[in-house]
Structure 1
Amino acid sequence: MSSKTSAPQPDGRKTAQPPRPGRWLALAVLALAVLLVAVDATVLGLATPFLSEDLRPSGTQLLWIGDVYSFVIAGLLVSMGSLGDRIGRKKLLLTGAVAFGAVSVLNAYATSPELMIAARALLGVAGATLMPSTLALIRNIFHDPRERSLAIGVWGAMASAGAAVGPVVGGFLLEKFWWGSVFLINLPVMAVLVLVGVKLLPESRDPAPGPWDLLSVVLSMVGVIAVVYAIKEGATHGPTWPIALVAAVGLAALTWFVRRQLTLDSPLLNMRLFHHRGFSAAVMADLLTVLGLSGMVFFLSQFLQLVQDRSPLEAGLAELPAAIGAVTAGLLAGQAARRWSVRSVVAGGLAAIGLALAVLVWLAPGTTYPVLGTVLLVVGVGAGFSFTVTADVILSSVPKEQAGAAAAVSETAYELGAALGIALLGSIVTGVYRDFAVPADVPVAQATEARESLGGAVESAATLPADTGGALLASAQDAFVEGLRIASGVGAVVLLATAVAAWCLLRGQRLEEGYGG
C-alpha cells in the first residue's frame, strides 16, 4: 500500500485519496477477527466448571488456565503492533489467524492441566497478533476520516458484541456438547478470515521501519507481565515479599524500556506519541474506564447464575442489552463527536457509565431484571460512545506508518485496565465476601470451602441438610452482593472522575472532517 500522504490544497485542506475498492468487505473480514478474539475471551469462564471436572486442575493451575491468556496478550501487544508495522500488518494478521486456529485445537483436546496452560499461553501469542493488526489496517484502508470513524465504530461494535455473545454461544454449546467445543468454533471463522483476507486485505507497513529491537521486546514483555501478575496475585493472596519483588522487577523493566525507546533511532514504541495531549488523554480514559467497569463485568455473571439462579445461557442472554447499546452507540459515535465535540461524547459516555454503576450500590439478591437490563443498556451505550471516539483519537493522532504501535498502546491500556480492575475491585468483593457469618452448625470443611468462593458455597450447601444449607447459601449470597455493591460504588467514583478528567484534557480535540468537508 502506498505510504504517501494526501497533497495539501492551496487553502490548506488535504485532497482526497481515491477510496480503496472493496474496503467495506475488507472491514467485514477484520470485524470477524475482532469478534472471534472477543468471544474467546469470555467463553472460557462458562466452560471452567466442566473443564475442572475433566482435567482436575489444582486451584493454582485453574487460576493459570484462566489468567495466562490475558497475561501473554498484555505482554506482547506492543511488540506485535510494532512487528506488524515492520513486516506488514496483513502478513502478521493472517499468520496469527492460522496460528489461532491451530492452537484452538490444542486447547480443545488438552488432556492435562499443564497442557491446557501451555495451550492457553500459545493462544495468547496468536491473539496478540490480531487486535493491533485489525485496527492498524483500518487506519490504512480508510483514507476519508468520516468513513474511518464509521469503520472504527464497526470494529468497536464487534468487540462489544463478541464479549456479550461469548456467554450466549458458550452457554448453548455447553448444554449440547463437551467443553472443548467452545474452542473448536474458532476453526471455521479463522478459515473464512484467512481465505477471504488473502484476497481482500491490502498490505501496509512502515516504509522505513528500522530494526526490531529484541531487548525492547523482552523488556516490554517482562515489564507488563510482571506488573499484571503482581497486581492479580496481590489481590488474591495479599501483599507478600515475593509479589513485591515481582512488581519491582516489572516496574524496573518498564522504566528501562521507556528510557531505551527515547534513545533508539527506530524505537519499538515512539514514546513521543504521548506528547500529544489527545493521544495521552484517550489512552488514560480507556485504562481507567476498563478499570472501573471490570469489577461489574467480572462479577455480574456470577450474580446472575449463583445468586439469581439463572442457567449459563440465561445469564448470557440477560447481558445482551450491554452489547446492543455498545453496537448502536459505536456506529453513531463519530457522527456525534463531529456534531457536538470529542470531549462531550467521551465525557458524557463515561459519566453515563458512572451513574449506571452508582445505581448498583442499591443492588439486592431480588433486584428485578428491568433494573439490571436498564443498567446494562446504559453501560453499553456509554462504553460504545467513549471507546469508539478514543480509538479514533488515538489513530488520528499518529502517522499511518505507526498505526500498529498506536493501536497496540490502546489495546495494552485495555488489558492493564482489566487486570487492575479485577485485582482492585475483585479484592474488595473477595474481602467483604470472606467475612460472611457461617451458621454455627456448618462443619469446618464446608465452611472453609464456602469462604473460598460463592461457587464453593453453592457446592457446600448442596451437601448439607436443607435448613442448614439454605442458611449458609443465603448468608454467602448476601455477602457477595454486599461486596458487589461496594465495588460498584468504587467503580462509579472512578468513572465519574475519569469523565471530569476527559472533559478537561480533551478540550479542543476534534476528529478529522471528511475530505472536501
Structure 2
Amino acid sequence: MYRKWMVLAIIVLIYLPVSIDATVLHVAIPTLSASLSLSANQMLWVIDIYSLVMAGLILPMGALGDRIGFKRLMLVGASIFGGASFMAAFANSALLLIIARAFLGLGAAMILPATLAGLRHTFLDEKQRNYALGIWGTVGGGGAAFGPLLGGFILEHFSWGTVFLINVPIILVVIVLTAWIVPQQKSDRQQALNLTQALVLVTAILLVTYAIKTAMHDFSIMMILLFIVGLGMLIGFVRHQLTSTSPMIDFNLFKHPVISTSIIMAMVAMIALVGFELLLSQELQFVYGYTPLEAGLFILPFMIAISIGGPFASFLMNRFGLKPVATLGMLMCAVSFFGLATTHFDTQHLQAWSWMAIMGVSVEIALLSSTAAIMSAVPPHKATAAGAIEGMAYELGAGLGIAIFGLLLSFFYARSILVPTHLPSDLIGTASSSVGEAVQLSRQLDPSLAHHLLDAASIAFTQSHSVVLGIAGSMFLILSVFVWWALSNQTDGNRRKSV
C-alpha cells in the first residue's frame, strides 16, 4: 500500500514540470526578446515548438511504453527532459533555445503516457485509480494554469534561465526514486511503435507552421513550396492511417459526430487558453510596463477560474446534459472574448478580471464536456485510443493557439502601426514586425524618437489585440452554433434514459 502512494508521488513530481513548461514562458517573452534579440517569428517558435513536438510524438511514445515498460520510458523521458532543461537554461541564441525546447517536447511526450500507464498498472482498484487520476489531472491543469505566475516570480528574482534550471533537481530526484521504488514491468516486444508515421506527422506540422509563419513576414515561392510539401505529407499521413493495419491514429473514431465535435472543442478550447495568455502577457509588459510577476498576478483570476471550473461544469452536465452545456461553454467563450476586446486592461481591472473569470470557467466547461462526450461515445475497448487522440488534440491546440494568435497579432500590428516620420527607412521593417522588436529598436535611438516609436508600437499593439480578440469571439460564436447542430440528439436521449 505504501509503495502505491510513493509511485503516485513520483508521478505527480515528474508531471508537474511537464505541465508548467507549456505556459511558463508566456510572461518571459519581453525578457527573452531583450536577452536573445528574438524576432517575432523566433519568439513564437521558442514557445510553441514544445507543444507541437509533443503532440506529434505522444501516441508512439505511449506504444513505446507498452513495449519497454513505463518505468524505462519514464527514466528515458526524464533524462531527456532534464538534459534539455539544462541546455535551455544556458542557451545563448534563439536557435539553441528552440532546439532545447524541441527536446523538452520529446521528453514530455515520453513522460506523459508513462505517468498514465504508471497509474493504470499501480492502482488496480477502480476507486483508488479514479482518486489518483483526479490528483494527476489537478496537477496537470493547475501546473499549466499557474505556469505564468511561477515564471513571473522566478523572473522577478533570477535570470530567465532559472525558469528551466529549476527542472533539473526535480528530474534528478525523480530518476533516483523511480529506479529505487517503481517496480519493473513486463515488456511487449510485439507492440508496434509507428515511429516513422510519427516523424512524418511532426515534420508535416512543422513545415506547414513554418511556411505560414515565415510567409507572414517574407512571402516567397520557397514558402509556398514548403507549405505544399507539408500539406502533401499531412494528406499522405491521413491516407496511410486509413489503410494501415496498425495505425497510429484510429481515424474511424472521427466518423462518430460526437467524438469529432468533441475533439474540435478540446483543440479550440486549448487554442483560446494558451493564445489569450500569450497575448495578454505581452500587452501587460510591453505596453503597460508590468513586471513579469505583476503580469502573472494580473492573470490570476483566469488561472483560478480554470482550476475550480471543473466541479461547476460537472454539475451543469449532470443537470442539463452534454449538448446544452457544451454549447453554453462555447457561447460564454465568445461573449468573454467580445468583452475583453473592449476592455482597457490598465484601467478597467475589475472588468478585465470578471471577463477572464468567465472565460476560464468557459474553457473548463469545453474541456470537460469534450472528455465526457468522448468517453460516453466510444466502446470500452476504444477508450484508450480515443483518450490518446484527445491528449494529442490538447497539445496540438496549445501549439496552434500560440501560432494562430501570434500570427494574427503580427498581421494586424504590421498594418496598423504608424511609425514616426523621422525613423530611418531601413528600420521601418523592424519596427513594424512586432512590439518586442520595436522595444529593442527604441533602445538604439535618441530619446525623443524612441518615445514616439514606443507610443506608436503600444497603440498599434493594443488595437491589434482588440481585433484579434474580436475575431476569436466571432469564431467561438460560430463554433457554438456548430456544436449545437453537430452533437447528436442521442446524447441527450441517452442521458434521459439513464436518469
Q: Sort the TM-score into its range (normalised by shorter chain).
A: 0.7 to 0.9
How far has the Cα of 1:362 moved from its partner?
A: 1.1
Q: 1:46 to 1:301 in 2, by over 3 A?
A: closer
2:177 and 2:310 mapped to 1: Cα distance? 25
2:262–2:370 Cα contact (<8 Å) kept = yes
How far has the Cα of 1:462 moved from its partner?
A: 5.0
Q: 1:492 to 1:49 in 2, by over 3 A?
A: closer
Q: Which of 112, 126, 129 matches 1:131?
A: 112
Answer yes or no: is 1:283 the counterpart of 2:263.
Answer: yes
Q: For residues 257-304 of structure 1, what are the alpha-carbon distances to aligned partners after superposition, in whole Å with 9 as ceiling and x for unaligned? A: 223233333322222222333322211111233344544222110111
Q: Which of 52, 76, 101 matches 1:95?
A: 76
Q: Which amino acid is the alignment partner of residue 118 of structure 1?
A: I
Alignment of 1:20-99 (within 5 A): 29-47=10-28, 50=31, 64-99=45-80
Q: For residues 49-74 of structure 1, what are the alpha-carbon distances to aligned partners after superposition, in whole Å with 9 as ceiling and x for unaligned? A: 55566666787766654443334223
The residue aligned with 1:496 is 477
Q: Which amino acid is the alignment partner of residue 268 of structure 2?
A: L
Q: Which amino acid is the alignment partner of residue 125 of structure 1?
A: L
The residue aligned with 1:172 is 153
1:474 and 1:118 mapped to 2: Cα distance? 35
2:318 and 2:188 mapped to 1: Cα distance? 32
The residue aligned with 2:394 is 414
1:281 and 1:202 mapped to 2: Cα distance? 39
1:294–1:422 Cα contact (<8 Å) kept = yes
The residue aligned with 1:15 is none
1:432–1:483 Cα contact (<8 Å) kept = yes
2:465 and 2:21 mapped to 1: Cα distance? 25
Q: Which of 330, 333, 336 matches 1:356?
A: 336
Answer yes or no: is 1:254 the counterpart of 2:234.
Answer: yes
1:56 and 1:439 mapped to 2: Cα distance? 22
Answer yes or no: is 1:338 the counterpart of 2:318.
Answer: yes
Q: 1:360 to 1:55 in 2, by over 3 A?
A: closer
SS in 2 for 1:42: coil
The farther-off stretch of 211-220 and 121-130 is: 211-220
How far has the Cα of 1:250 moved from its partner?
A: 2.4
The residue aligned with 2:436 is 455
1:285 and 1:59 mapped to 2: Cα distance? 28
Answer yes or no: is 1:506 the counterpart of 2:484.
Answer: no
Alignment of 1:136-151 (within 5 A): none
1:308–1:366 Cα contact (<8 Å) kept = yes
The residue aligned with 2:88 is 107
Q: Which of 185, 189, 195 matches 2:170?
A: 189
Q: Which amino acid is the alignment partner of residue 227 of structure 1?
A: V
| Gaps in structure 1 of 5+ consecutive residues | 1-19
Q: Which of 329, 352, 355 matches 1:372?
A: 352
How far has the Cα of 1:433 moved from its partner?
A: 1.6
The residue aligned with 1:8 is none
The residue aligned with 1:14 is none
Aligned length: 495
Decide which structure has greater helix share. 2
SS in 1 for 2:23: helix
Q: 1:94 to 1:144 in 2, by over 3 A?
A: same
Q: For residues 431-474 of structure 1, what are the alpha-carbon distances to aligned partners after superposition, in whole Å with 9 as ceiling and x for unaligned? A: 22223222333444554433222123334445556555443322
2:61 and 2:180 mapped to 1: Cα distance? 23
1:133 and 1:462 mapped to 2: Cα distance? 47
Q: Which amino acid is the alignment partner of residue 386 of structure 2?
A: A
Q: 1:401 to 1:22 in 2, by over 3 A?
A: farther
The residue aligned with 1:307 is 287
The farther-off stretch of 504-513 and 186-195 is: 504-513
The residue aligned with 1:434 is 414
1:313 and 1:307 mapped to 2: Cα distance? 15
1:161 and 1:230 mapped to 2: Cα distance? 33
Q: 1:445 to 1:468 in 2, by over 3 A?
A: same
Supply the RMSD in Å over aligned alpha carbons.
3.8
How far has the Cα of 1:80 moved from its partner?
A: 2.1
Give percent identity, aligned residues only: 35
